[in-house]
Structure 1
Amino acid sequence: MSQGELRPVHLQRKAYVYVRQSSTTQMLEHAESKKRQYALVERAVALGWPREAVEVVDEDQGKSGASTEGRAGFSRLVDAVAHGEVGAIFALEVSRLARSSVDWQRLLALCAVAQVVVVDESTLYDPAEGDDKLLLDLKGTMSEAELHWLGLRMVGARQSKARRGELHMRVPTGYVWTERGLELDPDEAIQRAVRLVFERFRVEPSACAVVRWMNERGLVFPTRRPASEGGEVEWKKLGVTRLTELLHNPIYAGAYAYGRRPRSKVLVRGEIHRVRAAGRAPEEWTVCKRDAHPGYIDWETFLSNQEKLRQNLVRSHEASPGAPREGRALLAGLLLCGRCGRRMRTSYGRRGQLHWYYFCPGARDQSGRSLCWMTCGEPLDVAVEELFLKTLVPDELDLSLAVEREVGAQAQELQKQWQARLEQARYEARRAERRYKAVEPENRVVARTLERQWEERLQELEEVERRYAEARRSRHVELSEQERRRIRELAKDLPSVWRASTTGTADKKAMLRLVVESIALTPVDVPRRTIRIQVQWQGGAVTQLQVPRPTEREKLRTPDAVVERIRTMAAQGLRDEDMAEQLNAEGIRTAAGARWTLLAVRWVRYHHDIVLVAPDAPRAWPLPERHPDGRYSLTGAAKRFGVTPTVVRGWIRRGLVPARREDFESRRAVYWLEIDEDTAKRLQTLVASRRAASKRTGAGRPSGVHAS
């Protein structure tokens, strides 16, 4: 198509000049390409379009043409073509418009129907004509293939450089690039912080526990900015996401790795997205050079950390125990079904974590109709706990020495960490002071800024010193001889440590998993209902025991010890309400886990034929309307204001009238109300307004109901 074949329909519409470069680097370094693209405006004017009818689309600068994702300018251009607003599209070459044949063909199809021409520096093309369409198709295919070839060359060059270990990548905190390659960060405070995290993960059961431990002690973690951003170090709280990335990074194990998580295309809700693949095994990485640089941990520790993280990640389709949590179910994550071999799960009852059950979903997963089986969790936990405390009796001397060494090493590492932070904060304060004193006093503009920075460094130093003093006082950064003696004593008495109030359920689960690999539960129906427990220890030995498996009715049966306790109290002359109060005071609960009431005690006595020997309580005389000191009872206040006692109770709950509960003669904890003149007027006004509202609505209800 020649230039003379432009038709009026083209010139009556706008001319769109599409400008795009693939990256910011090209925009800065390839200025000539940018000039040539913007010069297409003059070519449009020379072809007959008024300058005001030429629109430049340059929103896609710095974006790849491999797809339309994120290219708002290209989407606007396609929309304008579809609405018949475009007469010609000017582009330096096909690759500026699209590097994808799909996007290019769609644009050409729209141009052919809407009578839009495509123009470059030298030629005009009409997509509606066969020869021009064929030529444009070839150019689009070559543009897409060119992008593929460029990618192959770039990826090949990167992989070749990575195989030699010379490809520079952004290194994590704790490392720096030097002429000799990757080396440990010269800042000792950063090195100590990184080593402390790995040492603590070796002790703690999960990454969340490490983060919680550091936050409780006020410890922060460093982040070194890239050299392009100044290389400054920022100390802030460590998060779970950041810690997980650190634990997954093989650089800390001295390995140079490339291609751990390659990008791939996936379908998400009918659209193609590029995502990074999940973490793969080291043998599947493109490059994995072990012992390539100094490491904070060895390779075996890195692999064990990956397995520990994988085991802590609970997924329905994986048989992983998960990380120890604070739920009261002690055996959660360790149980296997003796029938089908699946991992059993935990379910807490309606009363929160007061009762819990272990169940196997095997049959439900296969048929969707019912569970494989389930059982109450408390008896199993008690049995395994007794077995654990009875079996685990290590050499007391070796254990106490090992615990003392571990606690002492942790305290020493914390001490070094705080000392490094203090030293760094003092250095920053001294440097800010030197900078302030070096400036000329007459240069007040600079002096004021440096003085403010000096003041900020001094405040940071004071804050670090305050936190360090608090940590020494409350977190035992330095262990005294008395504390060391107490640690030795506790190390010799494992049951005391286990039952201590400071030992949480998560700590108990972590201790149990150190020696127990798994526990298999098998229901037994004959000769009697029991559960066979097979405990497999970490060393491979197996211990077997059996516990009763009560029915649902037996679970709600009052224990014999409680029945005997009620029988004894009844023989001592206590009444039902006194026995309920005594049982609650002793911390005894019903079989359902509720508090004892008069009716609950009476029900137990009825079923077990326990007879009261206490004489009947004398009949209580009704309370007087007024106390001798002038206060009102519930009935007295209700009678004075013409309402029911229930309404008066509502006033007490809402704080409208002051009241106090006291014993009066044979009655216990009865309400006495203090009603002065102001309170009486306020209550009378409230009752009157409620009655008036009731009359207006025609509800016909007693005024006392509304007054509540």
Structure 2
Amino acid sequence: MSDKIRPQHLTRKAMLYVRQSSAYQVSHNLESQKLQYAMQDRLHQLGWNEIEVIDEDLGRSAAGTQTRTGFDRMVAEVCLGHVGAVAAREVSRFARNSREWQQLVEVCRIVDTVLVDQETVYAPRQSNDRLLLGLKGSLNEYELDLLRHRSLEARREKAKRGELVVAAPVGYCKTEDQRLEKDPDLRVQDAIRSVFRQFGAIGSVRQTLLWFLEHGLQLPACTPRGEIQWKRPRYGTVYRILTNPIYGGAYAYGKTECKINYEGGEQRKHDRRKPRDEWLALIPNAHDGYVPWDEFERIQRAINGNLRLAGHAGAPKNGEALLAGLLRCRRCASKLTLHYTGNRHDALRYSCQRGWLDKGQPRCIAFGGTRADAAIAEAVLQVVQPAAIEAAMVAREEETLKQDEVLAALQRDLQAARYTAQRAQKQYDAG
């Protein structure tokens, strides 16, 4: 028995802290669990009869970013003076950050509780042991930072080479050699291609979504288990398909970053999408895409052009005005604002009020838009009149193709439903 263990320590219970950092370690590193639980024998040899094992923190890191109920309960018991010794196979099991480690050491010093590992007994009331515990806590924290840094650097270098495939989006499958291949399900492939075809014909993410909703078509989505599930499309689903470089055949990594803020004393994570020039890796033609890379880039320019920002006309909106978002004030270079007036809101008027709204300056210009739109419409018709018949034929062919595409999609859905029903029937008959 160590001379640091006194009778007042043995009259109180000992607490054995068992922890592993991840669920994978809990499932696969079984030998480590056995060695930690075996510390009960060492405590018995040191003279303790009452031993409480705390293992509810299995699968949780000690880096300080996760709540560890077991550790908190152990510290609370020590504060109450009910514990004569806290034990772990290695002291790094207790904490990997200085704040929690120093808290545990200080509490043990105040209530005279010893710390026990597989090699030594530490008495925090002794200055030499307290110094040694402080050094070990700092080394544990440094070791964790070093391992994290090495792992992150290896991950970044692998990503720069285009060899790091974390997960495959819908429409792709990840192979064993870390490559992306198209989903063998032709129904999934046709649905992804339909999104790009409709955007190419319509030119708006929202209108593409409305086209799918109007015809009752579904889009595939990946479940947490990696299975394909067909759902009613949403705007975010269509937008992600159209803006993900993977569908253009490019490998991309580092598109977002996570920032941690503290609100109300609780940790909050916020994801931010980074500009393309800040991405860690972007490698075109890395795999087979659903659209060529040039076409994907054109789609990105079209989506950005739909934003009603400076330098962009913006996507067309409801209303009769032809020049909405296209006219600018000669005096302040701001876009003219469009207003509809009258009993039926059919009289349109263009005006510039940015100087007045932002700086209190006089209004720049305002005029009725009916005559201006009529003049523009007449000029446009004069230009397109020679090709009017050809344009009508092209529009008719496009409408026919859209109807054929809807019919083909519905037929694929019907075929998939029949296959599922036949499979369920065979399973029922076999059971």
Larger radius of gyration: 1
d(CA) in 2 for partners of 1:119, 1:239: 57
Q: State the secondary structure of the residue aligned to 2:256.
A: coil
Give me the whole-angstrom Cα distance separating, in 2, the residues matched to 1:381 and 1:272: 53
Amino acid at match of 1:95: S
C-alpha displacement at 1:245, in angstroms?
2.2
**What secondary structure sits across from 2:3 in the alignment?**
helix
The amino acid that maps onto 2:2 is: Q
Say whether the 8 Å CA contact 2:195–2:242 is kept in structure 1: no
Q: Does the 8 A contact of 2:243 with 2:300 survive in 1?
A: yes
Q: Residues 201 and 12 from structure 1, CA distance in 2 versus in 1: closer, same or farther, beyond 3 angstroms?
A: farther
Q: 1:66 to 1:247 in 2, by over 3 A?
A: farther
Amino acid at match of 2:26: M
Residue 428 and residue 343 in structure 1: after superposition, are their counterparts in 2 closer, same or farther (change >3 A)? same
Among 60, 72, 77, which residue is 2:74 paired with? 77
Q: Does 1:248 align with 2:243?
A: yes
After TM superposition, give the deviation of residue 163 of structure 1 in Å: 3.9
Matched to 1:306, the amino acid is Q
Bigger relative contact order, structure 1 or 2 (CA pairs below 8 A, ≥6 apart) = 2
The alignment partner of 2:169 has SS state of coil
The within-5 A match list for 1:620-699 is none
Structure 2 segments unaligned to the other structure (5+ residues):
none
Aligned CA RMSD, in angstroms, stands at 3.7
The within-5 A match list for 1:245-284 is 245-266=240-261, 268=263, 273-281=268-276, 283-284=277-278
1:173 partner SS:
coil
Measure the CA separation in 1 of the matches of 2:73 and 2:325: 55
State the alpha-carbon separation in 1 of the partners of residues 60 and 249 from structure 2: 36
Specify whether residues 129 and 433 from structure 1 end up closer, same or farther in structure 2 by C-alpha distance, changes over 3 A only: same
Match among 377, 399, 421 for residue 389 of structure 1: 377
Aligned ranges 1:570-585 → 2 under 5 Å: none
Distance 1:171 1:137 in 2: 45
Which residue matches 2:294? 300
Corresponding residue for residue 31 of structure 1: 30
Amino acid at match of 1:93: E
In the alignment, what sits opposite 1:120? Answer: 117
Query: Within 5 A, what are the aligned runs for 1:172-251?
Result: 172-178=169-175, 181-224=179-222, 229=225, 232-251=227-246
CA distance in 2, matches of 1:76, 1:50: 20
Amino acid paired to 1:404: R
In the aligned structure 1, how far is the partner of 2:326 from the partner of 2:88? 65
Post-superposition offset of 1:239: 1.4
SS of corresponding position for 2:53: strand
Tell me, yes or no, if structure 1 residue 286 matches structure 2 residue 280: yes
* Equivalent position amino acid for 2:98 in 1: S
Distance 2:77 2:352 in 1: 62
Q: Does 1:57 align with 2:54?
A: yes
1:18 aligns with 2:12: no
Select the residue among 402, 426, 435 that pairs with 2:394. 402
Runs of 5+ consecutive residues of structure 1 not aligned to the other structure: 440-445, 447-708
The CA distance in 2 between the partners of 1:359 and 1:223, in whole Å, is: 45
Cα distance 1:139–1:343, how it changes in 2: closer, same or farther (>3 A)? farther
Measured in 1, the distance between the counterparts of 2:338 and 2:38 equals 70
Distance in structure 2 (CA, Å) of the matches to 1:126 and 1:24: 33
- CA 1:307/1:99 → structure 2, altered by over 3 Å: closer, same or farther? farther
Partner SS state of residue 176, structure 1: strand
Cα deviation, residue 309, structure 1? 4.0
**SS in structure 2 of the partner of residue 3 of structure 1:** coil
SS of the counterpart of 1:4?
A: coil
Shift of the 213–50 alpha-carbon distance from structure 1 to 2, 3 Å rule, reads same
Q: Distance in 1 between matches of 2:339 and 2:113?
A: 66
Partner residue, 1:586: none
CA distance in 2, matches of 1:165, 1:30: 31
Quickly say closer, same or farther: Cα 1:177–1:68, change in 2 above 3 A. closer
**Deviation per residue, 1:174-229 (Å, 9 max, x gap):** 12234683222222211110011112223335433322221121101123558xx4
Aligned to 1:88: 85
Question: Whole-Å Cα distance in 2 between the matches of residues 85 and 359 of structure 1?
Answer: 76
Q: Secondary structure at the match of 2:56?
A: coil
Deviation at 1:297, TM superposition (A): 1.5
8 A Cα contact 1:22 1:64, kept in partner: yes
State the one-letter code of the partner of 1:418: L
Show the 5 A alignment for 1:95-106.
95-106=92-103
CA positional deviation for 1:312: 4.8
Aligned in 2, Cα 1:339/1:13: closer, same or farther, shift over 3 Å?
A: farther
| Map of 2:155 onto structure 1 | 158
Between the aligned partners of 1:337 and 1:127, the Cα distance in structure 2 is: 76
Note closer, same or farther for the CA distance 1:131–1:218 as it changes in structure 2 (3 Å cut). same
State the shift of 1:80 in Å. 4.1
CA contact (8 A) 1:330 1:381 kept: no
- Whether the 8 Å contact between 1:117 and 1:124 is mirrored in structure 2 is yes
Cα pair distance change 1:78/1:380, threshold 3 Å? farther
Larger displacement relative to structure 2 (169-178 or 263-272): 263-272
- Offset at residue 268 of structure 1 (A): 4.7
- Partner amino acid for 1:235? W
Whether 1:424 and 2:416 are equivalent positions in the alignment is yes
Q: How far apart are residue 63 of structure 1 and its match?
A: 1.9
Shift of 1:382: 3.0
**Residues 80, 392 of structure 1: alpha-carbon distance in 2 compared, 3 angstrom cutoff:** farther
CA distance in 2, matches of 1:9, 1:360: 82
* Cα separation, partners in 2 of 1:273 and 1:430, compared to 1, 3 Å: closer
Q: Between 150-159 and 232-241, report the one with greater CA deviation.
A: 150-159
Q: Secondary structure at the match of 1:392?
A: helix
For residue 427 of structure 1, what is the amino acid of its counterpart?
A: Y
Partner AA of 2:62 in structure 1: G
Task: Using structure 1 for the length normalisation, give the TM-score.
Answer: 0.53
Over 3 Å counting, the alpha-carbon distance change for 1:72 and 1:313 in structure 2 is: farther
Does the C-alpha gap of structure 1 residues 304 and 18 become closer, same or farther in structure 2, counting only changes over 3 Å? farther
Contact (CA 8 Å) 2:248, 2:291: kept in 1 or not?
Answer: yes
- For residue 304 of structure 1, report the CA deviation from its aligned partner: 3.5
Q: Is the 8 A contact 1:68 1:74 kept in 2?
A: no
1:291 Cα shift?
0.7
